[in-house]
Amino acid sequence: MLETNALVRRLSINNSKLLTLSDENIKDIQAVLLDMMADFDAFCRKNGLSYFLCGGSALGAQRHGGFIPWDDDMDVAMPRADYVRMRELFLAEYGDRYWVQSITDGSGYNLPFMKLRKKGTRYVEIFETDPDQAGIFIDIYPLENLPDVAPARLLHGVVCDFLHFCCSCVRVNCNKRIYLNYFGNLRAVKVKALLGKCLGIIPLKTWCRLADRVASSCKNEQSKFVSFPSGRKHYFGEMLHRASVLPPKECTFNGHLFFEMSNPAEHLETLYGDFTAIPKQHNREQHSILTLDLGVNNEQILL
């Protein structure tokens, strides 16, 4: 029930109502992403901020030495304290080139992680809250400290997952017509939309900010465990030993030096099981894209 986003990505494959990216499109997007990552990496090094590849980008670094060939975004994470500082500092230095979207800004953005988006490009998905700022993006996830005492960690995790589930239900209800239009009458969507209608007496932005505050409530930066409550497998599914994540180490990614976790295997096995295996075509996920424009007059629009 918490995996609506993953379901949508699977149903977006070969969906005639959505834009299907060619291999050339994907390579062009990856070139833009590498430029974005070079800026982000330089900014973090200059300001003493820690970051590391996670999710599909961490998988690509280990399995392919760079991008997964069919991947069209980047996933990075930062310890919560650096995540907050990045949001405060980045626009002052790079505001002419990028947007930074987060639930703490005044927009309608409602995802539990930040997006760094390239100005002058357009990558519009079906659920965009602000199409005018829908550029090619890097997802940035906060790494959270977890309580060392097991009962406190259990309570923290249950509350985090409950609040993220509430956010997801309200978000699905807000987007119900879009789901029905592009993916048909899905049972998971109907159930979550019904719950979201009840929970919607509290605005979605309020749910999101509450979930963010609770997730970041543990301030012990030496805790034994850390997690990505905003990740696809949520608090317990993405709980890791701190020593396997920090400190980050350099890795080669498409010829660039970026940072990865100190032991990325624990993260990748948690997410993917045997992460060395190449998935078959029908098991590869795809974003639900309507418009692509790389900023060089090659815009493609799905009508």
Report pLDDT digits (tens) over 154-201: 999 999 999 999 999 999 999 999 888 888 777 888 899 999 999 999
pLDDT of the residue at 53? 98
Inter-residue contact 170 to 248 (CB < 8 Å)? no
DSSP H helices, 19-111, are: 23-47, 55-64, 80-94
Range of the domain at 280: 9-144+222-301
Domain-embedded: residue 62: yes
pTM of the model: 0.93
Q: Which of 54-63, 100-109, 207-216 has the lowest mean pLDDT?
A: 100-109
Distance, CA of 83 to CA of 76 (rounded, Å): 11
29-73: pLDDT as tens digits = 999 999 999 999 999 999 999 999 999 999 999 999 999 999 999
Domain-embedded: residue 101: yes
pLDDT of the residue at 2? 45
Does residue 302 have a pLDDT over 60? no
Query: Domain count of the chain?
Result: 1
Whole-angstrom Cα Rg for the chain:
19
**Given the structure tokens 């996670």, which residue do they identify?**
54
Inter-residue contact 287 to 12 (CB < 8 Å)? yes
For residue 100, give the CATH number of its domain. 3.30.460
- Mean pLDDT of the residues in the chain: 91
**Confidence at 301, pLDDT banded by 50, 70, 90:** very low
